Amino acid sequence: MNKPRPSFPARLDAKAPAARAPLLKVAGGVPMANRPAGLGMDSAAHRQRMVQLLQKQGVRDSAVLAAMASVERHRFVDSALVNQAYEDTSLPIGLGQTISKPGVVSRMIELLRNGAEGKLGRVLEIGTGCGYQAAVLSQLAQEVYSMERLRGLHEKARENLRTMRLPNVHLLFGDGMEGYARGAPYAAIIAAAGGEALPQAWVDQLAVGGRLVAPVVRDGFNGSGGQALLVLDKTSGGVRQTLLEAVHFVPLKSGVA
């Protein structure tokens, strides 16, 4: 279980499978992995560049940008993919699932915060995956409850987050479609997997004044059966739903495996 943490940049030797695979990214004509240290190729510089890209894409919330700059995304991906960790792309994390694109993570968390000053209260995340978004949320919320239905990924996230020592992140193994009533009410709920309908449990477990951001399947987005980003605000007068842009997430599934 104690596999070594990927270092950044990845060290590739001739025997490593990654050296044979066409995964080596070339920056400025020199493969990143082969650049000598001291050329600004440390992971903080890569994150800074990623953050500049996020700003260009329209992310404005400085707290979100700071969290994106601080969490080391390369720790959450397979060592063969470390050199792609700061590109705005989703990457496989095993069991057919993916780590979300930084652009989507920051967009959704910005929507979730909705310009809040200070930290959010308790946040429920559906779909821990490798734990990356939970780590970003830990910088912006008082408590993060993160649920995953696949035991293998729940354990992987636990391993990934172990050395980061984030006491406010609570990883839960279970079907997130039922939410997690014991932590309710939540100031915010964020889902990293999209289904046809929004589970009623999520709306029930959201605090009045709280906001939910989730992908939902809606015809007309990415063609029929595509997904759109849904923002739901719960007020004392009821719920208000807003559909935003088309997105592409793994499916929300029921039960555990």
Residues labelled as active-site residues:
100
Give the contact letters, 196-235, x = binds to ligand SAH (CB under 6 A), - = no: ----------------------------------------
Q: Cβ closer to ligand SAH: 149 or 170?
A: 149
Q: Cβ closer to ligand SAH: 41 or 71?
A: 71
Q: Can residue 147 be called a binding residue for ligand SAH (CB under 6 A)?
A: yes
Long-range contacts of 30-37 (CB under 8 A, 24+ apart): 32/83, 33/9, 33/83, 35/9
Q: Can residue 81 be called a binding residue for ligand SAH (CB under 6 A)?
A: no
Residue 101: HSE in the Cβ half-sphere, 13 Å Cα cutoff: 13
> Residue from 67, 77, 137, 192 that binds ligand SAH (CB under 6 A)?
192
What lies within 8 Å, CB to CB, of 194 at 6+ separation is 214, 215, 216, 217, 227, 247, 249, 250, 251, 252
DSSP symbol at 245: E
Q: What angle do CA 70, 129, 204 make, to 5 degrees?
A: 100
Q: In whole angstroms, what separates CA 44 from the centre of its chain?
A: 18
The residue to which tokens 């270092």 are assigned: 7
Q: Cβ closer to ligand SAH: 99 or 229?
A: 99
Task: Pick the stretch among 51-59, 112-120, 174-182, 217-225 that binds ligand SAH (CB under 6 A).
Answer: 174-182
How many binding residues for ligand SAH (CB under 6 A)? 25
What lies within 8 Å, CB to CB, of 107 at 6+ separation is 57, 58, 59, 229
Interface positions, 85-144, toward ligand SAH (CB under 6 A): 97-100, 126-130, 132-133
Q: Can residue 33 be called a binding residue for ligand SAH (CB under 6 A)?
A: no
| Shortest Å, Cβ 183 to ligand SAH | 14
> Residue from 6, 9, 102, 176 that binds ligand SAH (CB under 6 A)?
176
| Shortest Å, Cβ 14 to ligand SAH | 32
Q: Can residue 247 be called a binding residue for ligand SAH (CB under 6 A)?
A: no
- CA dihedral 67→69→75→76, nearest 10 degrees, is 60
What lies within 8 Å, CB to CB, of 30 at 6+ separation is none
Contacts with ligand SAH, residue ranges (CB under 6 A): 97-100, 126-130, 132-133, 147-150, 153, 175-177, 192-193, 250, 252-254
